[in-house]
Structures are given as structure tokens and as C-alpha cells.
Structure 1
Amino acid sequence: MKKKYLLIGLLLIGCKSKQDPKPDPGPDPGSNTASKIMEFNFNETSGQSTTEAKSNSNFVIEGPADSAERIAGLEGNALRVNGYYGWAYGNASVSYPTKNISVSGWIAPAVFPVQRKNQDPITEHTVAAVFSNLNTSNSSGVSFGINQHGRVIAQFKIGNDIRQIISDEEVKLREWSFIVVNIDAEKGSAKLYLNGTEIESSSFAAGAITWDKSATIFIGKESKVKTLAGFDTNALTGAVDLVSVWDKMLTADEIQLNYKKQQIKVPDLRIPTARFADDTNKPKYHLMPSAAWTNESHGMIYLDGKYHIFSQRNINGPYLEHINWGHYVSEDLVNWEELKQALWPQPGFDEVGIWSGHAVVSGGKPYLFYTGVDKNKAGIGLATAVSPYIDWTKNASPIITSAPAGVSHADFRDPFVFNESGSWYMMIGTGLRSGTARGGLFLYKALNDDFQQWTYQGTMLEGNPASDGTGDFWEMPVYYNFGSKSILLINKLPNANALYWTGNFSNGKFVKDNGTPERLDVINQLLSPTIQQDKDGNLTAIGIIPDGVTSDKHKEQGWANIFSLPRVWTLVNNKIYQKPHPNLTVLRKGSQKFTNVSFSTGVSDVLNGAKGTQYEIEATVNPGDATKVGFILNKGVSNGEETIIYYDYTTQNFVVNRSNSSKLTGVPLGNLATSYIMPKQDIKWRIFVDASVIEVFIDDQLAFATRVFPSKGSDAIELYAQGGTAVAKDLTIYNIEGEGTVSTQKMAKEHKEANFSVFPNPSDSVFNIQFPDLIQQTVVYAAVVDITGAVVRIIASNTDAHNNSVQWDGYYDNGQKAPRGVYLIKGIINNEIFQTKVIVK
């Protein structure tokens, strides 16, 4: 049989057993062999720079001091890029070839980069580049990476013509992929490769590659400047490794060998705990993503013993754009794991964003309903999954293409699906624009059990903002039938607020009990709740509690917005009562107890120096003759910071006084107050403090939340009274040691180890690597590595049951005899790995 030899660097040496026929010499390697003119390995263990190996040039890693992050890569470390910082940039003295070139690199995206909804035309691609040195004025140079939909893309200039090649295939999220572009300017062609396989080719007029030798080189970001709200939007979020620029094109065999020689493991893209180790304002026991942006929660379901909840998610940074669906699971509604995003924008009707929606379980199968957005309109999409419900399959086209024709409206989004009297319905938020601008809900009815076909039923409910205060747009609607009564909740805009009516669903309409809706929270801070019965039948709700900080503050802290604790809803006297979910008691870790504590104006430290940043207060307080009664939280003894939460019996208001809550910039300091009549009698308070979030529950009926951002050390807890003396009849402070939302790492796909032997070893010349289990022809790929980690010889050879060994003859690829010492031979055969040390005598 003939043996096939691959060319990587220099001519490869094959097996020299007596049974082997004379090898096919193949093409002359001299002028056809590509060499690296640039190489980035990112193997530094720390520091805010990396070195380009060929020129020894220093490249800066963008970001604040000590922010550079590295993870385990293919051969040593890889560079972690975080969307709006973390890329490398600099210059190297390089002679760029004009006839042809290859650029290669490994990329592991956590998410695809941002295409800005309003600023970027749909035809303009964002490039999260493994390599980019474009002159942004005249487009000379090369930019190569993945675009906003995970397609491999290269942009380059031939003569005066700007060229672009894009694949149809999407790279895998949260896995390593090897991407290569070959540009043959002489013949007018370009090719893209993914994991060793050609995936796209393009032809153009022949010419010469145009370069700007002084252009800055970027690794992990394209050269163009694209920003939104102060954030760079065109960088990779994920990891990059082993980036090389070659002076000629790589052959298909060389590309295959460079791919096959790596032992590929799943990259660890979890957010390192060290990133937020000094952030005293990041909550620890509230559900929130590990980093970056979240807002509206939606689609909580219970399936196979686990709760799933989804949310709006921009993983590229703490700002609102290019929305994915975040995904979290829990067994108890308290301790959560963050999974890979369930949905993300892809070419078609949802190419700009996966906006809010809902989820239901029918026939034991989960269904996600979402708003898919392109540049022109929104449609309603559908996705399903099988156990373990991590990878979701979307319908290729929307199940509802657009809002009903002929109805004047503004926007069309946020489906909520419910079953009433055996039929499935979907309501969708909108703003009606015929006559008075007002909020409304479009209603659809399912025609089949697989939710593929729907018919429009008209509007389920319309607002009257002049009389009911419900604004001119409704989003994130919620419907639930308690039995004798149902509730319909909407989030109104402008001045977002969660409001609800009681009533009944009849003939496609919601018939309200009262014209004016009730506030969900007594002080408005929680928005967009999602609901689900827990395993014990408790109707449980979790909403979003926005930060209320500036974009600069979001950029500084690296995360945006959190979710509420789970709350149990009951309907009493046509009002939603809210109380903490009973499972929250598992968070308690030790306590301080007080009884019959009197407190009044000017009296301090009645709680014996109590302090904390993560805790729960449970107290029964009698107001006595005081006019204001409550708590001072996050008190700073030296800096004067404090947040006062109290009830004012004179004005009959619940009040959150944040005027002195923080000395930090960019955080909310406005006071909050809402009228509510309370009798002057015992009040049962439950207060949860978790760094920058405070949730308050009153008498297992009322709830409200607020956000405050105290300076480090502002953690004292005191009682508050004005105008008289009040008594805390019993008060317990429970310490809470929340671990935060856990980011789940996908299990690595380990290669099976091959059965092999090496002989002789040690040796002064030939080493034989034999594979006794071979039953069919296959190619062996191997690399010989010296003690410094440098690859000194590449081996590739056909083998079969009769010729089941390959050899290293003790020479380097450059013809040099290997000096005495220890070497490592590692390779792959039939997708099985082998690795062995050999000693040259």
C-alpha cells in the first residue's frame, strides 16, 4: 500500500519497516511550505501584557490594572476576553506577504459578539477577531474571526477592492474551534476552514494584498471602533489561543494536522471568583448571572424535579443589547446554577435579539415562547428541548409572524401562554395607537397541541391611562387563575411599574373587577415577575430588581441587575399577598435574638453593635407612641452613610430614605415613598439584606424592594423611631452565608487513550511507536516536543493492521540530529490519544 505523507514545516519521515513500500515523495517542500511570521501563545501566568513569539514584541492587554485573565488553553494558557475589555493590542515588525497568506487560531466563544440594533446596518458584520490589523480609514489589512451569528468571517483588501468571505456554518459556543483563512491573492481566491475542514470558498479578481504595516494589531477584537453606552461592542467574549499568521497558505493537510495534533478539552469559561472578590455590593444569595447584563425574568417551569428560569441576557457586557436568553436551574428555588444560554440571535427573524417571553410544560415537554427581533419587526418564536434541557431547538420560522394587520400599534412583544378551560391562549404586549395612546394585549388561540398554529382573537384587555394610570404601553403580562378569581398583571410604560387587576377570563376578554389596578409592590422597584407553582403547590414569583446605577457604574462593577428572592403569592380579598418562600430559611446560618427592646429618637445601638452585609431580620414591632418606626441599615459610623426604611403614621407612607445611603458616584440616592394605610398596632417585618439589595415583607402581605450601594464598612444595623418610643417585642437577625449563583461547567469530552508501545527506549537513533489493536487503515498524527515545549518534529503517516507502527528517526524537521535528552511524543489515532516520553542517548 502507499503511505500518505503530510507536509508541516519540512518533509515528514514515515515508517521504515521492511514491509513498507517506497514512500511517495510528494511535492517539493521548499517553496511551498508555510512558516509563521507571527505567533501568539498567551502562556504568561500573569500580567497585563502578552508577547508575540516571533518578534518578541510586547502586546498590551486592554483593561483596568490586574484585570487580565487567562484560562487553561490548548498548549498552556489561553487569553480570556470579556466583551468590552481583555483583548491584546500592539505592533510587531513584520514583512507581510502580498501574494498569499494564512491566518489561524483557536477560539472558544461564550457568546457571539454584539450587532448594535440601531447603529449597525444589517449588512455590516461585527467581527470578534482572532487577528485584526485593518487600517480603519482605507480597510487595508486583514480581519479574521467570527461574526455576530458565530459564522467564520474574514475581511481583507486586494488592490483597491475590499473583500469578504463568510461561512454558513456556526461555530460551537463554549467549545474550542480551530479556524483558518487562506487568501490567495495571485489566483483570486479565499477559503475558510473550521476544525480542519473547508467550509467556504470565494473567488475575486486577482491582485495583491494591501497592508498598512503601521496599523495596530488586535487579538480578540476587530480594529474598528464600535461602542454603545460607553462599552466597546466588537470584541470576543470567550477565549482565544495559538493565533498564527503564516507567510504562505497552509495546505489542506497542514490544516488538518494542526487541528488533529491538539488534545481538545472543553474550555473553562466560568467567571472566576477573583474577578469580584473585592466587590462588597455584589449580592451573594439572590439569583443573578455570574457577570454582565440581565433584566426581565421569564418562563419559570418545574420539570423532572428541577426549576428552570430564563431571563434577558447580554453576556458581552453590562449593557442592554444583542439579547440572549439566560438559563438557570435549581432544586429548591434558593440555590441556583447558571447554564449555557438557551437561545441566541441567528440569521432570520430573530437575528437582532431574543427578547422576552414565557415557557410552559405540556405533555411532559417544555416549550419556550419568545420575541424574535430583526431590523424591521418582531415575531413570536418557539423552541423545545429534551432532557437535560440544556440544548434548545428553535423553529426555523416564527409561529406568529407579526402583529395583526390593520391594527395601529407600537411594538409587539413578550408572549405569555396559559391554559383556560382546556384551551391554550397567548397574550402579547403592545401599545395601541388608534385614538388615545394606551397599553393593550393581543390575544391568540392555539389550533393544535404542539403550538405551531395560532389564530388572532382580538384584544384581551385595553388600558385607559387617563383614568387607570396604566401608561401607553404594556409589557411582560402575567395571567393566573386562582379558582374563583383570576389575576391579570401588566408592566406599564413609561415609568415602569407592575400593576394587576382581579377578574375573570370570558369569551376572549379579561373582565376586570375594578377599573383601577393594584400595585404589586407597595413601593415600586420589582418588575416583570414570572410565576410557577412549586412542587408543593405554592404559586411562586421571581421578578427583576434593577440596579438604577449609571452606565459608568455598570462598567466599573461588571454586572447589571438581579432577581428577587422567590415569593409566594396568594389571593386574599381580591389582593395579591406576598411573603418569602418557605425554602429561604435554609439560608440562615446562626442568629442574634432580642426581646422587648425599646427605642426612640436619639437612642442608638440598642442592638449591641449588630452589623452585616448578608442577613435576614425577622421582627415584631409595636409602634407605641412613635410617629415613624423602622430600621436603619448599612450605617457607616465614620462616613455618615445610612439607609432608613420606615412607616410614617403621620403621612401614612412607607418610606425608603436613601439620601445618605452612599458616598459612591453613579448610584441611586433618591427617596421612595408610597401611601398605604396601616393601623397603629404590631407590624411583622421580614427584611432581607444582600449587599446592594434590600427586600422588605410586611405582615406576610406587602412587599417592596430597593437598591442601595453603601461604601465598604457601612454595615451597622439599628432600630429607628421618631416622635415617641416603640418596642421591638421580638427581633432576630439571621446571618446568611450565600454562595451566589453557581456557574456550571460543561463536562469535558475526554479522548480515549490509545493502546501503544514504544521500542527501543532509550535509543540513539530510531524510536518505533506500535499500535497492536489496529484493524483498518488510519492516519497517525504526532508531534515530538523538546524539553522547552517546542515542537521539533511533526509526524503523519498511514497505518493499518499489517503496518501498525510509525517511527521517529531522532532528527528534527530542520535536519538537525536531536541532542541527548528527554523528549515527549504525543499524537492521535482514530480519535484516541497517545503520549510518551523517550530518551535520546
Structure 2
Amino acid sequence: MTGRRETRTATPVLVRRSFLKGAAVSAAVVATGALFRPAAAAAGDPVLHLSYDQPNGSTAIREAVSQTDFTVRVAGNPAERVPGVRGSAFRTDGFSTWATGQFTKPLAAQLTIQTWIALESYPADAEQPYASLTPSSIIHQRTGDAGFDIAINTYGEWWFTANLGGQWHTVKAPWLFPLYEWVHVAAVVDTTAGELRLHLDDAAGPRVARVAVPAGTQFRQAAGAPLVIGKAAQDLTTGVFLVNALDAAYDDTRIYDVARGADALTAEYTAGIAGASPAHDVALQVTDLRFADDILRPRYHAMPPANWTNEPHGLVLHDCKYHMFYQRTPNGPFKWQMHWGHMTSTDLVHWANLPDALYPQLNDREAQQGAVAGDGLTGQGSKGIWSGDVVSVDGTAHAFFTTVNFGGPFDPGITRASSADTDLVHWTKADAGLIDKNAPAHVADFRDPYLWQEPGGTWHMVIGAATDAGGAVEHYTAGSVTGQWTRAGSPFSTVPYAQMDIGSAIWEMPVFEKLGTHDGQDKYILVVSPIGRSVSKLTAPYTRSVYWTGTWNGSQFTPDYAQPKMLDVIHGHLSPTVARGPAGKPVAIGIVDERSSSRMQNDLGWAHTFSAPREWRLLGDGRTLGQRALPQLTTLRAGAPHTESGVTVTGERALGASGNQVEIIARVDPAATGPRYGLCLAASPDGAELTRIYYDGADLVIDKTRSSRNFEDEEAVLLRGAYDEAAFGKPQKFHVLVDHSVIDVFVNDAAAFSNRIYPTSRGADGKAASTGLRLWSDGGSTRFTQVDVWQLQAASSSATP
């Protein structure tokens, strides 16, 4: 297959960018290493002034006019400060931090509310029709019948509303709010001139929206109501989560008791932006303070800087760099209004975070005419941009994704966005969807396209599907990647899907790749993730990825067997995204999802992580997938290993090395083993916490019954999976990667599984205490010929490359 690899060899030129999104917005390049120049102070006398120049972590914000303190509301995450426009800026996280305080200065016929703000994402909302949305607020002070609100919804529409003489009046911006850049926003009440105004100064230039109001009316102030920055006037909660706060950085917030003019506001923007910090890679980064004391958060596994993630997908080599996209909610550790997150790497190990590639949008008709409940959308993904795939062709990347809307066509459907950027930052969506779920009548649901190109030029797409008989894949072809897609005349598999399914409702995240050659035949692998019906996260049959090997004739796949094999020996990892690695072999990265409660995820401020990269190959029987840790992971090793050789163990034996960010390679003499043998990880000094991984002669086992003292752990159980000793060989090499709460296990560089543990013990210094490592043999002695333990470095996923 071709089309999943980009063969251009030009070396990319790296620059620091302030990445910009929104209507009529373009990227602005900021010189690497430029100093943040202090801007001139704004002219005039504000009646409120918040500068946010307090230490990182301070919950107090001094209001300069009254010399009183506003308070940062924190829950879990700290009160962060980041480099701003003038000194420091206040960083909100999208769900648990905002600022509030009292503002009582009387206001009457004129006022101006202004602030600098850099917005990472539009606020989340419940996935419901447009008319039922609950917007967020940039800043507000309001009650039911008084005050003002600069509001914004989940699609980037925003407006200013104020109560004048007992009536609410609103001016709505005709442009979407920009993302990933510092902008200056001002809302003006001028009843002397008889108008409300909304000012925006950004990289696209100054813009003003206005609406007429009755001249001579008075602004009705919300007496006694707090002034709130970064949270909605009306909260939307689901379970333990506040959904509709803002994920942003704020600086230099002011209120005036006069109606300021456009020229003065633009002059402030021009002076301030010259010294502003770069928004994406400075102001909108998560500070080191946020997770400094988090002993569960992984450090070298790929994952977003914060908040919620799910399946990685669209792993592709483009212009000499790997790009990985993934499901993301940037506003909190909850699953609403799905985005495509984006990170990039040169080695599939060290990842750098980039701005979100795709996010929910209204289509043009709705943006112009206003949506109503039940309106059908086209291919913009107003209910979420769900998983898909990316291919790079002749310097242009094409993202095929699942669009979910509120009824009507393409709900769900498959559509496309394209980017010719070196960094794949700016994307243009197709005007409408490409493939509608309703095209094949027998398909009840489908999602997650996966693409490849045959050597002869034909493009193929498989899509995970739900039918009356259970999970399946749909198969489409096209003459070019941007051409018309036609449903194939025959099923993708020569074996009926009903015989292949494991009792699911739908197959998700299909992958189809050439795996190797056996007995002169090219062998392929089909991987899917069945969910629903009898398949469950916590009870068998478990939610997990499964696979078939087989042959491919260019139009149909013939599996070697009807019932699938398990991708992982033990469930806990699924939905891999795949690309050809540095050695030309398939490399897969999947999701290792949480086994913790929503409350714990809300407290932590993040949810889910990705697996360590795995290199795939065809094993000697021609029917089994072999998986090993990607060799490039050795670049994480910090110095020489701790080594112990020729150790015979009966019971438990502590190793002379410890840690919760380590790599272990333990080699065993297969002729000198007890009935059960393996390793113990994450052991506390008193032994109350401990995770045991071992082989019992038939199964691989992970015993998590003592992994955590935390009662929020959903899966504190013993799990086992059948081990194919004929295919994998008797376990004689345990290769284990431990990264705080996630572990990856490889046996004989062939069998694999990943899982989650939640050790919570801390020492007197507050640091993790469950770091002990032990060798284990039960029912007899086992000889460990050599054990190596490396301490591993963090692989940052926050800095722009």
C-alpha cells in the first residue's frame, strides 16, 4: 500500500508561531527568542483595573482602583499565571478556575468593559441543538434583570448584552472569536449616542459591531452581584463536571465609566501586542505548577497538556515529521464537543503539542440564518469532530473524519478537510459531507474511516459499521483521494461479519495494513474495536481491539480464521492508530483508558493517556501479530541501567533499583522456572500497594487487587488473558515500561498489553512512595539471568517544535 507515507526529504524550517484561527485570521510569525517588551499603559482613568501580576499560584488578584482583592476560584488545579501582554496573565483551565470579586462603582449612561484575552478553545456545551445551548462568558456582572455580559458559545459566536432602562439589549459580533492569539475586546454602552458597541482588535485588524438603543436610557447595574471573569452567567453541569467555563489567558481587564472610542482602543491594542507573549506556545501552555504534585500523571507517554482525550488517530508522516491527531475536549476532563487534538514528533517518542486541528462548527446556512432545534447540519461536525484518518499526498494532507450533527444529512457521515501547511495547523473543510450513513440501507451507524492507496492508484476506505447482525466494516473506493467515493459491490471480508463478530453492536477504529510475507504470500491485518451490545468495559467480553490476519486480492480480504485474535493478551488498551515507522514497519499507538471514577478525573484535571509506541510484525506461524516496544524508546533512558545477574528467586526479592518512571527488562532461563513467575511493580514500603505481573503456565496475569488504596479505582481486580505459547514462546523476556499510572508490558518482544494502576502512597516528603520493584516466583524457584532497570526521562508534549 502507498499513500500513508510522505517521501519528501526536505528539512523543515522551524519557527515560533502565534497560531491563529477564526474568521479572516492568518498566522503571525514571532521571532524566536524575542523579548516581551512592556506596553504603554492605557490612557484614561478606569474605575476597575485587574493586572494579574501576582505570583504563579496566588489566589488573590489585586484590583488597583479599590485596592481590594478579587479571588481565583480553584478546585484541583492551581491559580496559574503565564506571560501576558503587560507582565503576567491569568490562566483559566476551562472547568475549575475563574476569578470573581465585588465591583460597586455606580455606572449610568456610559461604560466600557475591556480586556485582553487569548482563547485556546470555544467553551464546551452539552451536545444538543443550537437553540438549547448554554453559552459561557468572557466577563459578566448580571442578575435576571440587571447588569451586562460579554458571552460566547461553543461555536465561537459572541455578543454583548446589557440591561438599559429595564430592557435587555444585545449587539452580536458578525465574526467568530479568534483562537490562539492575544486579542483586545471592548464592550461599550453609550446611551448618549444611543448605541451598544462591540470592539475587537486582533491580527486581522480593528472591527466594530453596533446596535441602536434608546437614547437617554440608563444602564441598570446588577447591584450586589459579583463580577465574574472566565465563567458563564448560567452554569451547565453534567455529573461532577462544570462544562461551560472558559479555557483562556486574561490580561489587563478594565472598566471605565465613559464610552471609549475605537481609535483609543485600537491604539491600546497596537501598543500592547508589540510586547505580548506568543499566545499558543507561551500564554496558553499549562504551567509546571498545574501537575507538579500529581503522582499519577504519566510523564513520557504521549498525551495532551491537560483535560480529556480518547483515541489517537490519523498518524501520518508529512514533510519529514510524524503528526498524530486524537480525540480531545480541551475545556476539561469530560467528553463533550469533540475536537481533533494535534501533536507532532520526529521519532514517535518525543511529542510536541500543536493547536487543535478541527473543532465543531455550524454550516454557512445556520451561521447566516440562525439554527433552530432539530435543524439538520451538513458536514461541519456541530455535535463533534470524531475519529478518522489522515493521508499525505503530494505535499497536501487530507483528514477524513466522522462528522456528527443534530439530525438531517451526515448524522453521522464522513467528510474531509485538507491542509498544505508544513505544520498542518490550518485546515479547510469540505463544503459538505462525502458519505452519509443512510447510503447503505442496512447500516444503522458508522464511524472512523481508514484509508490506503493501492499501487495501481485506487484509493480504499473502510469504515467501522453497525448492522442488524452486529459489527462490520463498510468499504468504499475512489479514483483519487479527493474524488467521488463509491460503495464497493462486495463485502470487504469474504467471511460473513456475523461469524467474525464477538457480540458487539458496532466495530470502531478499523485499521488495515500489510503485515509481512509468509510462504510467498503477502499477509495483511485487519484490526477493529468492537463495542456495545454484550461487549463491556468492565465485564467479559471486554471492550478491546481484535484482529485477523489474512490475504488481500485488491478488492476483498480473506481472513485466516473467522473468530478474531486479541490485540492485547489482557484488555485495557485499544483503538490503535498506525503508520510506517523509521524501520518501515507498522508502528501503533493506542489509547490506555482510565479505570477511575469521574470524580477522580475531575480532581486530577485530565483523563486518559496513549500507549507507548509498538512496532508490529508477522510472527513465524504467518497468522499471529507480534508486538514489541519501538526501539526509539531507548532514547528516554537516563544513563546506565541498574543490573542484577544470575538471580534465583523463590517468593519475592526486592531489586536494588526503584521508581515509577522506569524501564525494566527481565530475562528468565525458560528451563528453570517455577509454576508462576514474573515481576512486582509500584510496591509501597509496607507492601499495602503492589501490582504483580506474571505467567502461570497458561495465562498472563496482572493482579491489581492491591494496586491502589484509592477507592475511586474501578478495576482493582485480578485480570488474566490466554497466552499462546506456541506462537509467542515460553515467557523468557519481560519488557515493562512503568510511567506512574500506566504500564506497557511486552513478553518475548511478541505478546503485549497495557493497563492502568493508581498507586497513591506518599512519603513524608509528599513524593510517591509506591516505587518498589521486585522479582517474583511462586510454587518453585525461577532463575532470572539478567535484570536491567533504567530510569527514564520525561518526553515533553507541550513545547512547540
Q: TM-score interval w.r.t. the shorter chain?
A: 0.7 to 0.9
| 1:598 to partner: Cα distance | 0.9
Quote the Cα distance in structure 1 between the aligned partners of 2:153 and 2:342: 23
How far does the alpha carbon of each residue in 1:691-727 deviate from its partner, in whole angstroms, 9 at most, with x for none?
A: 1111111112100111111122111111111111111
Quote the Cα distance in structure 2 between the aligned partners of 1:248 and 1:728: 79
Equivalent in 311, 316, 325 of residue 340 of structure 2: 325
Distance 1:673 1:198, change over 3 A: same
1:295 alignment partner in structure 2: 310
| 1:744 to partner: Cα distance | 1.8
TM-score, reference length from structure 2:
0.82
1:430 aligns with 2:477: no
| 1:45 to partner: Cα distance | 2.7
Code of the residue aligned with 1:133 in structure 2: it is Q
| 1:504 to partner: Cα distance | 3.5
- Give 3-state SS (helix, strand or coil) of 2:647's partner: strand
Greater shift in the superposed pair: 58-67 or 281-290: 58-67
Quote the Cα distance in structure 2 between the aligned partners of 1:103 and 1:303: 44
| 1:133 to partner: Cα distance | 1.3
1:441 alignment partner in structure 2: 473
* Structure 1 spans left out of the alignment, 5+ residues: 1-32, 746-841
| 1:126 to partner: Cα distance | 4.8
Equivalent in 725, 728, 738 of residue 689 of structure 1: 738
Code of the residue aligned with 2:565 in structure 1: it is E
Greater shift in the superposed pair: 193-202 or 363-372: 193-202
Distance 1:296 1:741, change over 3 A: same
- Give 3-state SS (helix, strand or coil) of 2:657's partner: coil
How far does the alpha carbon of each residue in 1:808-832 deviate from its partner, in whole angstroms, 9 at most, with x for none?
A: xxxxxxxxxxxxxxxxxxxxxxxxx
Greater shift in the superposed pair: 342-351 or 181-190: 181-190
Pairing of 1:607-646 with structure 2 (within 5 A): 607=655, 609-622=656-669, 624=672, 626-638=674-686, 640-646=688-694
Q: CA RMSD in A?
A: 2.5
- Give 3-state SS (helix, strand or coil) of 1:619's partner: strand
1:735 aligns with 2:768: no
The 8 Å contact of residues 40 and 51 in structure 1, kept in 2 or not, is answered as yes
Distance 1:566 1:739, change over 3 A: closer
Distance 1:389 1:65, change over 3 A: closer
Code of the residue aligned with 1:654 in structure 2: it is L
Equivalent in 629, 648, 653 of residue 604 of structure 1: 653
1:786 alignment partner in structure 2: none
Pairing of 1:571-610 with structure 2 (within 5 A): 571-572=618-619, 573-588=622-637, 589-601=639-651, 603-605=652-654, 607=655, 609-610=656-657
The 8 Å contact of residues 440 and 463 in structure 1, kept in 2 or not, is answered as no
Quote the Cα distance in structure 1 between the aligned partners of 2:141 and 2:498: 54
Code of the residue aligned with 1:703 in structure 2: it is A
Greater shift in the superposed pair: 150-159 or 548-557: 150-159
2:294 alignment partner in structure 1: 279
Quote the Cα distance in structure 1 between the aligned partners of 2:328 and 2:558: 35
The 8 Å contact of residues 437 and 444 in structure 2, kept in 1 or not, is answered as no
1:799 alignment partner in structure 2: none
1:215 aligns with 2:225: yes
2:138 alignment partner in structure 1: 130
Equivalent in 521, 527, 531 of residue 568 of structure 2: 521
Code of the residue aligned with 2:174 in structure 1: it is D
Distance 1:699 1:309, change over 3 A: same
Pairing of 1:262-277 with structure 2 (within 5 A): 262=272, 263-265=274-276, 266-267=278-279, 268=282, 269-277=284-292
The 8 Å contact of residues 358 and 414 in structure 1, kept in 2 or not, is answered as yes
Distance 1:632 1:65, change over 3 A: closer
Pairing of 1:10-29 with structure 2 (within 5 A): none
Quote the Cα distance in structure 2 between the aligned partners of 1:450 and 1:171: 32
How far does the alpha carbon of each residue in 1:545-578 deviate from its partner, in whole angstroms, 9 at most, with x for none?
A: 1122111111222221111111111123221111
1:658 alignment partner in structure 2: 704
1:491 aligns with 2:534: no
2:87 alignment partner in structure 1: 76
Quote the Cα distance in structure 2 between the aligned partners of 1:467 and 1:580: 29
| 1:125 to partner: Cα distance | 5.0
How far does the alpha carbon of each residue in 1:139-198 deviate from its partner, in whole angstroms, 9 at most, with x for none?
A: 532111443233332233345544443323233322100112223456664332210723
- Give 3-state SS (helix, strand or coil) of 2:492's partner: strand
The 8 Å contact of residues 631 and 720 in structure 1, kept in 2 or not, is answered as yes
Distance 1:456 1:163, change over 3 A: farther
- Give 3-state SS (helix, strand or coil) of 1:276's partner: coil
- Give 3-state SS (helix, strand or coil) of 1:36's partner: coil
Greater shift in the superposed pair: 292-301 or 620-629: 620-629
2:40 alignment partner in structure 1: none
Code of the residue aligned with 1:190 in structure 2: it is L
Quote the Cα distance in structure 1 between the aligned partners of 2:708 and 2:636: 27
TM-score, reference length from structure 1:
0.79
Distance 1:709 1:257, change over 3 A: same
The 8 Å contact of residues 91 and 216 in structure 1, kept in 2 or not, is answered as yes
1:94 alignment partner in structure 2: 105
| 1:523 to partner: Cα distance | 0.7
The 8 Å contact of residues 77 and 290 in structure 2, kept in 1 or not, is answered as no
| 1:359 to partner: Cα distance | 0.6
Quote the Cα distance in structure 1 between the aligned partners of 2:731 and 2:447: 44
How far does the alpha carbon of each residue in 1:793-822 deviate from its partner, in whole angstroms, 9 at most, with x for none?
A: xxxxxxxxxxxxxxxxxxxxxxxxxxxxxx
Q: How many residues align?
A: 699
Equivalent in 501, 512, 529 of residue 548 of structure 2: 501
The 8 Å contact of residues 171 and 177 in structure 1, kept in 2 or not, is answered as no
The 8 Å contact of residues 192 and 199 in structure 1, kept in 2 or not, is answered as yes
Code of the residue aligned with 1:311 in structure 2: it is Y
Quote the Cα distance in structure 1 between the aligned partners of 2:77 and 2:590: 35
Distance 1:123 1:681, change over 3 A: closer
How far does the alpha carbon of each residue in 1:406-456 deviate from its partner, in whole angstroms, 9 at most, with x for none?
A: 6254433211111134211222222123xx4x1122222224x35153223
| 1:369 to partner: Cα distance | 1.3
Pairing of 1:415-426 with structure 2 (within 5 A): 415-420=449-454, 421-426=456-461
Pairing of 1:772-791 with structure 2 (within 5 A): none
Quote the Cα distance in structure 2 between the aligned partners of 1:253 and 1:124: 37
Code of the residue aligned with 1:714 in structure 2: it is S
Code of the residue aligned with 1:581 in structure 2: it is L
| 1:465 to partner: Cα distance | 5.7
2:774 alignment partner in structure 1: 718
Quote the Cα distance in structure 1 between the aligned partners of 2:246 and 2:436: 33
2:383 alignment partner in structure 1: 352
Code of the residue aligned with 1:181 in structure 2: it is A
Quote the Cα distance in structure 2 between the aligned partners of 1:112 and 1:663: 37
Code of the residue aligned with 2:693 in structure 1: it is I
How far does the alpha carbon of each residue in 1:318-350 deviate from its partner, in whole angstroms, 9 at most, with x for none?
A: 221122211111111111111122222222222
Distance 1:321 1:736, change over 3 A: same
- Give 3-state SS (helix, strand or coil) of 2:632's partner: helix
1:801 alignment partner in structure 2: none
Give percent identity, aligned residues only: 30
Quote the Cα distance in structure 2 between the aligned partners of 1:410 and 1:153: 39
The 8 Å contact of residues 366 and 385 in structure 1, kept in 2 or not, is answered as yes
Quote the Cα distance in structure 2 between the aligned partners of 1:629 and 1:733: 18
| 1:368 to partner: Cα distance | 1.3
1:167 aligns with 2:173: yes
How far does the alpha carbon of each residue in 1:202-230 deviate from its partner, in whole angstroms, 9 at most, with x for none?
A: 34667554432112210111221112342
Equivalent in 316, 321, 328 of residue 306 of structure 1: 321
Pairing of 1:512-591 with structure 2 (within 5 A): 512-572=559-619, 573-588=622-637, 589-591=639-641
- Give 3-state SS (helix, strand or coil) of 1:123's partner: helix
Equivalent in 400, 404, 407 of residue 369 of structure 1: 400
The 8 Å contact of residues 615 and 629 in structure 2, kept in 1 or not, is answered as yes
The 8 Å contact of residues 170 and 196 in structure 2, kept in 1 or not, is answered as no
| 1:42 to partner: Cα distance | 1.6
Greater shift in the superposed pair: 167-176 or 533-542: 167-176
Distance 1:157 1:604, change over 3 A: same
Distance 1:577 1:90, change over 3 A: same
2:12 alignment partner in structure 1: none
| 1:728 to partner: Cα distance | 0.7
The 8 Å contact of residues 570 and 721 in structure 2, kept in 1 or not, is answered as yes
| 1:736 to partner: Cα distance | 1.6
Code of the residue aligned with 2:582 in structure 1: it is K
Code of the residue aligned with 2:659 in structure 1: it is G
